[in-house]
Structure 1
């Protein structure tokens, strides 16, 4: 049987442990990743390596599993090999890495993870109340270019035979099966479940600090905004994104979609705007809340029987959530400030592209001028041409400073 514990009890992992965080999605993963990336030097000074240079390890995790993200894409070849090399070079510190896409792994892939990471690995699964997380799960699909209505998505989620497009998404949120699968491969003693809940907002960071041997409160010192915390969208905000997906999904590649919608219009709205009086909170219909409650009761029992360590109150995963017999699931009008922030996000991206293009053109011109000066100086590179090159580089630096 699993035991429920709190961060105040001994959770610290052995020295040089590999802490693999596999999600699940919408359980505070974005906040953890952004905090770790922002505090990378501070963590390393305290004996914890958060490898790589990016906010998360999505590319490396997908590369190992042979999966891609989005349509018309392929895994980033070599991403895992590069991350693994950095992990192997560190012979002193604990290492913290992972991504919620690791929860997509089937039995064979989890076994491959076990063979790859060896005895040092400890797996962490973060979970939230299944019913409460359903609106967030749907919103994540909207951010990946889908355009299903929330009602259609819910009906498929609880159907005996859901549409094929939805199956992978549902399987990665099968909390009981995910925990059992990783416990069977790594051993229950090497798997920790952290139960995330609004009633204990500090528990998530506290648990990771305890496992990694960090002082209490360190992760909370990272400054996070709406984008960094990946806050939920209101009905109106989600409907704006869904409407854009309907028009643009077939016109854009995945990289174009990420650039112009996911990473600009959507993220700008989440980062720079707070829902107000004209926003509606997404609430489950009563029938869906009841179905989710029955499903999560099975998940809780599976997790108990798996024998893994549990941080937090496991019963919170099956607590009842607010619902309505006839909630508002669609919107015909979008708050003007939401649309404004989305448009401004696209404009800012366009300006960044212009700045990069301008800089690239400047560099080409300066290189041509330097080459011309060298040719005029004769066979030997003269002092004058060297000074000209230094002046050119200095001028470029000043222009960049003026542009901020």
Structure 2
């Protein structure tokens, strides 16, 4: 057999080259991956995490012969589900033959950039997020009351730095802000803020070695197109609470047979064999979670480690009212203090057994828990109108 470098051998080399680049460089293209806490690679499609759900409580003993009271500690399951990102890059073979540059080297960074954009946009804003993923950062922060309106009553500095501002919202829930993300246009607004002496409050050197900072927390302005300024102007938070992991089976394949169809119209766009083309197909799988464990400053897990500044015109949401009752008849009493978990957004029911969420269009799994009762799993579907749903608990 002649000693030649055939297509099969070259493909193996190219495939490994791209895989190595994705594993090493995709996180550099994603602000969320850079700021969040990376966990070991997932070994299956789903990884379970145990997080604190109930904290023990100590009690004073009444006198020398007083009784010591009991307390409990409980855990809840949080799941990281792998979502799949895929891209196919078709290339005419003539272009490969005539190119005077390393095409693979030119294409791979763009693939990484696209992965970073999609990953960030799904986690921050819920854009095209996989159905198995929990609510995005904006949705979770909104339910926790950690959204700051862009009103004329306060200037930008107060909206960020003062009591009731972005940083304070996160701190009130027991977290310290260690990072901020904003659209590039926010830089101009920050540069306009001055002290009484006319000195700039926020500044950065031209080389970027001294970045913008909010109370010491570094600030980032994504250039991968992931930040949606129609949903938020700025997001701040404790990014150590955000965890993510890569599923191990990253695959790359060089195709030279088959057709590529438009996913909507199903029309054939390219016939690789007939048109003398190859295509690089990359499949990347990763997942994330915001576990939100119980802490002494967030015992009921209704807080959030993130807050955001709304745009001048806030995003339209629908009011979703969940009412929890004990029993199935009309006179059933309301259940106060039940935990209502809408896909990672947690609220406790009030005296009337009601928890109110503000959600965008979509289907949301819900879980209702109350000590002494059976846990109920259900789903709420949100379209273009407000939604009301009653959940009936039964004793355990």
For the superposition of Structure 1 and Structure 2, which TM-score range results when normalised by the shorter chain? under 0.3
Higher relative contact order (CA 8 A, sep 6+): 1
Q: TM-score, normalised by structure 1?
A: 0.23
